[in-house]
Amino acid sequence: MKPIRIWDLPTRLFHWSFAALAVAAYVTAKTGGNAMIYHFWCGYAVFALLLFRLVWGIAGPRYARFSAFLTGPRTFFRTWRARPDSGTDARFAGHTPLGGLSVIAMLLFFGIQVVLGLFSNDDIFNDGPLVKFIDKDTSDMLTGWHLRNHWVLIALVALHVLAIVYYRVARKKDLIRPMILGDKTLATPARPARDDWRVRAGALVLVVLASAVVYRIVHLAPAVAALPSY
């Protein structure tokens, strides 16, 4: 069995950067006070990474694409019940359909959290950058949902970690090492993912563009009403 490149470098960097930022956002939110400014910065960075991953899931290398792991119900349950040596690892060499659902849930609920955070306030010194577009009551309501949704994120992260432990213990599959080094050793042949300089340069351009979009959104200003002329 020969190691095959499954995870391209941009996907791996996204994964670990996203994990680090999620932890940092949680810690700074719990710390409060002056640390909230870092919480906002973490949120903006997560926002940019989410935009990157959405595009990468459509135009990125083979196993990073959503189409590589999103399936219909029949295929989903068949692969769920399959034995580790059943040969399904070639088709789903990246994420399995169940793992793909986890990816989509993470992207969805972290995206919701980011959007809610843009309109949230802490009733002390810190307001989200888009609070100026809504009234206080609406901001308070969205802040409440922002606080509730973080429990959903904690549950998703916990399930993600438990799945990694399950695969390591019960199925003897190490999911962490491939996400660090990029390669997997498979029982059946599979086509490798592209991971050349063109892929990496394209990812860098995409990250810059995503960051520019987030910067523009964060710095939106209310329209100034034109003064009447006499």
CB 97 within 8 A of CB 76: yes
CA distance 103 to 179: 14
> For residue 100, is pLDDT > 70?
yes
Q: What is the pLDDT of residues 139-194, one digit of tens each?
A: 999 999 999 999 999 999 999 999 999 989 988 889 999 999 999 988 778 899 99
The b/e string for 176-188 (b: 16+ C-beta within 10 A; e otherwise) is eebbeebbbebee
Q: Residue 134 carries which side chain, given as an amino acid letter?
A: I
What spatial distance separates the first Cα and last Cα of the chain, rounded to whole Å? Answer: 82
Q: What's the pLDDT tens digit per position in 188-222?
A: 788 999 999 999 999 999 999 999 999 999 999 88
- 59 confidence band (pLDDT: 50, 70, 90): very high
Cα 144 to Cα 125, 126, 133, distances in angstroms = 17, 15, 18
Structural domains in the chain? 3-218 (1.20.950)
Helix, strand, coil percent content, the chain, rounded in steps of 5: 65, 5, 30
Q: What is the pTM of this model?
A: 0.91
CA distance 185 to 187: 7
